[in-house]
Amino acid sequence: MPACRLLAVDIDFTLVDDERKVPPENAEALRRAREAGIEVALASGRIVSSLHLYCDEIGWPMPLIACNGAYVLDADGQVLADHRLDSEVVEAVVSECESRGFHVNVYAGDRLSFAERTPMAEKYLQRARRSYYEVLPWPELRTQRANKLIVVDEPQRLETLRGWLVEELPKDKAIVTYSEPEYLEVLCPDCSKATGLAALAKRMGIERQATAAIGDYYNDVEMLAWAGFSAAVENAVPEAKAVADCVVPSYRELGVARFVEMLLKNVGK
């Protein structure tokens, strides 16, 4: 295990508990990491305003890999990466969601927009805990310069839409993945949490082998594979475990704190 200088931490089902709050043990572990000289970044599919909530809970502003790497900020809020979906992709996905009756969130920078405050919108906002949003007409949603799109619905219904998206969207202009069973995301093909971590490492002058990452889901796989040393929590999907260097206890058993302990043992070596 190389000595770590930059640690990227996924949020949902990795860092936080079932109430989507940071357990005190995980927050304390991250504070100890920072005191030992390890920069901590949050890496999530969430929007920036939602990630700021967790910075507040942990105790300091930190770099943010938001929108699954499409929107990346340093600790001072300077934008390091801002990838936008092609306009024809946004129009096609939003139009299909409108015609089929799916709730779709449009992320653009730190702006979250959707057409109606549906039950699925309520579910999302409750989970996000802090997301500033605006309600826009469907025609206006179709013209947004989006970093990503997220369709929120029951897994069985989402699978029917996923088939259409994979078949119809240009492969060189969009990728389709899940960030949670109820969240189907459309992302730029040239970015991921891995590219976000790479952008942070480059800005900070940190080599790849001195980075670390921890996560649980499909949208974490590239980041876990890219980092110099990585962990999947026990509750992670098999694809995440397969590329990670180790598996730590589940999010309910404070896997993040355990991983930080491992990293701290190697600081200074």
**pLDDT tens sequence across 37-48:** 999 999 999 889
Residue 145: pLDDT band by 50, 70, 90 thresholds? very high
Give the span between the Cα atoms of 3 and 39, in whole angstroms: 12
**pLDDT tens sequence across 149-183:** 999 999 999 999 999 999 999 999 999 988 889 99
Residue ranges per domain, the chain?
A: 6-82+191-265, 87-187
- CATH 3.20.20.20 fits domain 6-82+191-265: no
CATH code of the domain made up of 87-187? 3.30.1240.10
Read off the pTM: 0.90
Is pLDDT above 90 for 1?
A: no
Q: Supply the pLDDT for residue 132.
A: 79
Q: Supply the pLDDT for residue 268.
A: 54
Q: Supply the pLDDT for residue 131.
A: 67
Three-state secondary structure call for residue 123: helix
CB neighbourhood size of 154 (10 A): 10
Sign of the dihedral defined by the CA atoms of residues 76, 191, 148, 59, in that order: negative
For the segment 25-48, the average pLDDT, to the nearest whole number, is: 96
Q: How many CA atoms, within 13 angstroms, populate the side-chain half-sphere of residue 143?
A: 5
12: amino acid identity, one letter: D
Among 78, 53, 69, CA closest to 148: 69
In 125-224, where do the E strands start and end? 133-135, 148-152, 175-180, 183-187, 211-215
**pLDDT tens sequence across 228-251:** 999 999 999 999 999 999 999 999
For the segment 185-193, the average pLDDT, to the nearest whole number, is: 93
**pLDDT tens sequence across 93-131:** 999 999 999 999 999 988 899 999 999 999 888 888 766
Q: Supply the pLDDT for residue 110.
A: 86
**pLDDT tens sequence across 78-97:** 999 999 999 999 999 999 99
